[in-house]
Amino acid sequence: MKAFINFLVVLLIAVSFTSCQMVGDIFKTGVWTGIILVVAIIAIVIWALSRVFGGGRR
């Protein structure tokens, strides 16, 4: 019985560490997605402002 309890404790620790790593990976992915979206939105705003105010016309 003691071996079974030890196995359960080790299994619980292994699953906990894996889930923490997964949450960290999701957070890193979310951060990069956010950065890419912000850069894209800024680029669109700059492009739109240049179109409105005649940027590049001769």
- Give the pLDDT score at 35: 92
CA 26 to chain centre: 5
What pLDDT digit, counting tens, does each position of 11-48 carry?
Answer: 777 777 766 777 788 788 888 888 999 999 999 999 99
Given a cut of 60, is residue 8 above it in pLDDT? yes
- Give the pLDDT score at 43: 95
- Give the pLDDT score at 31: 87
What is the CB-side half-sphere exposure of residue 53 using CA atoms within 13 A? Answer: 7
Given a cut of 70, is residue 56 above it in pLDDT? no
Given a cut of 60, is residue 3 above it in pLDDT? yes
